[in-house]
Amino acid sequence: MTFANNPPTRLTPFKPLLLFCVLAAVLVTCSQAVQLAHAQEEAEAALVEEDVAAASDGADEQISYLQWAGNSLGWFYGMVFLGISFLLVALFVMNLLTARRNNVIPRELVEGFEKHLDEKQFQEAYDLARNDESFLGHVLSAGISKVSTGYNEALEGMQEVGEEENMRLEHRLSYLALIGSLSPMIGLLGTVSGMIESFKLIANTATGAPDPQALAQGISTALFTTLVGLALAIPALAAYNLLRNRVSRLVLEVGIISEGLMSRFQKKPS
């Protein structure tokens, strides 16, 4: 059995051309993919730069802490706390000047009154005490005006005037304590008001989340009113207690000095 001899296979000129076209297409596709990847990277880098620039611009446009506090307090609480702060400073300065030792117990009055008593110039001593507007001057003038009726009556007169003057000083100091008590209450009122506004915003938001900036406005109002209220109450209460102790000490000294000066009118037992 014989087989016929087949002629050998030979590449036609179209097959190398087809292979070249396929390779060229692959190279072009890879080149385009690389260019597209580079373009995407450049676009992403540009977006990042824009975000950084926007963030820096936003940081530059941020308001200061003082402006934020003013916007959070609003005109009502801002005016209320501003008025209280001015009143607190004025009351502190007034009570501090009133509680000075030279205004309560003037050295010139003590020396001049004692000199007149030593020289038996009782009318001059009375005029000197009456013309003096200090605490000690009122007490001494009340005592020497009643010394003719007796020493005990003079002491009672000085005690009455001393109590009135002490009440007057305490009355002025009580306004500092009033500010120390009212400031936290006003701050608490602002706290409740701000929280109500925040919860009202949440309740009125039907779908989605509420506006964070509007929500933060109510919360910041609540916090800043509490902060300012406490910032006013703490120095007010501290000043009240310090000045009250100073006034109490000066009132005690007035009693001791006035009794010492008037003791020479006491009749010695025979």
Q: Is 70 exceeded by the pLDDT of residue 268? A: no
Residue 111 lies in a domain: yes
SS3 39: helix
Cα(256)–Cα(95) distance, integer angstroms: 23
Identify the pLDDT of residue 54.
46
Cα(170)–Cα(182) distance, integer angstroms: 18
Place of tokens 């260019």: 35
Residue 145 lies in a domain: yes
> Over the stretch 30-86, which tens digit does the pLDDT of each residue have?
555 555 555 556 655 555 555 544 444 444 456 777 787 777 788 888 899 999 999
Q: Is 90 exceeded by the pLDDT of residue 19? A: no
> Over the stretch 141-182, which tens digit does the pLDDT of each residue have?
999 888 888 888 888 999 999 999 999 999 999 999 999 999
Residue 110 lies in a domain: yes
Number of domains in the chain: 1
Q: Which candidate, 105, 111, 117, 112, places its Cα nearest to that of 162?
A: 105
Residue 28 lies in a domain: no
- 172: burial class by Cβ within 10 Å (0-12, 13-18, 19+)? middle
Q: What is the 3-state secondary structure (H, E, C) of 155-192?
A: HHHHHHHHHHHHHHHHHHHHHHHHHHHHHHHHHHHHHH
161: Cβ contacts below 8 Å, ≥ 6 apart: 138, 139, 142
Residue 175 lies in a domain: yes
Residue 269, both tokens: 């037992």
Q: Which candidate, 189, 221, 199, 223, places its Cα nearest to that of 72?
A: 221
Residue 243, both tokens: 């000045």
> Over the stretch 112-150, which tens digit does the pLDDT of each residue have?
998 988 888 888 988 999 898 899 999 999 998 888 888
Residue 46 lies in a domain: no
Cα(80)–Cα(11) distance, integer angstroms: 101
φ/ψ region of 204 (left if φ > 0, alpha if ψ in -120 to 50, else beta) reads alpha
φ/ψ region of 150 (left if φ > 0, alpha if ψ in -120 to 50, else beta) reads left
- Sign of torsion, CA 105 109 112 115? negative
Residue 57, both tokens: 């611009």
The parent domain of residue 106 ranges over 68-265
Residue 85 lies in a domain: yes
Cα(8)–Cα(270) distance, integer angstroms: 167
Residue 89 lies in a domain: yes
For residue 14, what pLDDT band results from cuts at 50, 70 and 90? very low
Q: Which residues of 102-134 are buried (b: 16+ CB within 10 A; e: fewer)?
A: eebbbeebbebbeebbeeeeeeebbebbeebeb
